[in-house]
Amino acid sequence: QKEVEQDPGPLSVPEGAIVSLNCTYSNSAFQYFMWYRQYSRKGPELLMYTYSSGNKEDGRFTAQVDKSSKYISLFIRDSQPSDSATYLCAMNQAGTALIFGKGTTLSVSS
């Protein structure tokens, strides 16, 4: 079993839809959880950062962490064509490098 599992998609939604992106993981020691957005041929940019369990909201984006289920989610409200990108989950524990999921490709059509 891979440490971090993420459905690669692709995921296609109409503009204005609510998007749900998810990752599961196997290492219960992970404490720090991140979501990155990557546009084609560019480096990933950090979207959301969460420590331990709980929710975090930033504008149209909400990150959720459920450590008991080893499951994290990113919700995008009122999705826009500019949200079309690959979304990567990443996580680690103190003292270790980030482990990434494979990324989910999202396409938002106008």
Partner 1 sequence: DGGITQSPKYLFRKEGQNVTLSCEQNLNHDAMYWYRQDPGQGLRLIYYSQIVNDFQKGDIAEGYSVSREKKESFPLTVTSAQKNPTAFYLCASSIALSRGGTEAFFGQGTRLTVV
| Contact between residue 31 and residue 81 where contact means Cβ atoms under 8 Å apart | no
Of 1, 14, 43, 110, the one binding partner 1 by CB under 8 A: 43
Please count the residues of the chain.
110
Of 14, 59, 68, 94, the one binding partner 1 by CB under 8 A: 94
Closer residue to partner 1 (CB): 70 or 102: 102
Q: Does 45 bind partner 1 (CB under 8 A)?
A: yes
Closer residue to partner 1 (CB): 16 or 42: 42
Taking the CA atoms of residue 48, residue 30, residue 53 and residue 26 in that order, the dihedral angle to the nearest 10 degrees is 110
Extract the tokens encoding 65.
Answer: 């962490």
> In the β-sheet with 71-76, what is the strand arrangement from edge to edge?
4-6, 19-25, 71-76, 61-66, 54-58
| Contact between residue 85 and residue 38 where contact means Cβ atoms under 8 Å apart | yes
Please report, as residue ranges, which positions from 53 to 82 form the binding site for partner 1 (by CB under 8 A).
Answer: none
Of 59, 82, 97, 110, the one binding partner 1 by CB under 8 A: 97
Of 11, 49, 56, 73, the one binding partner 1 by CB under 8 A: 49
The contact set with partner 1 (CB under 8 A) reads 6, 8, 30-32, 34, 36, 41-46, 49, 51, 88, 90-103
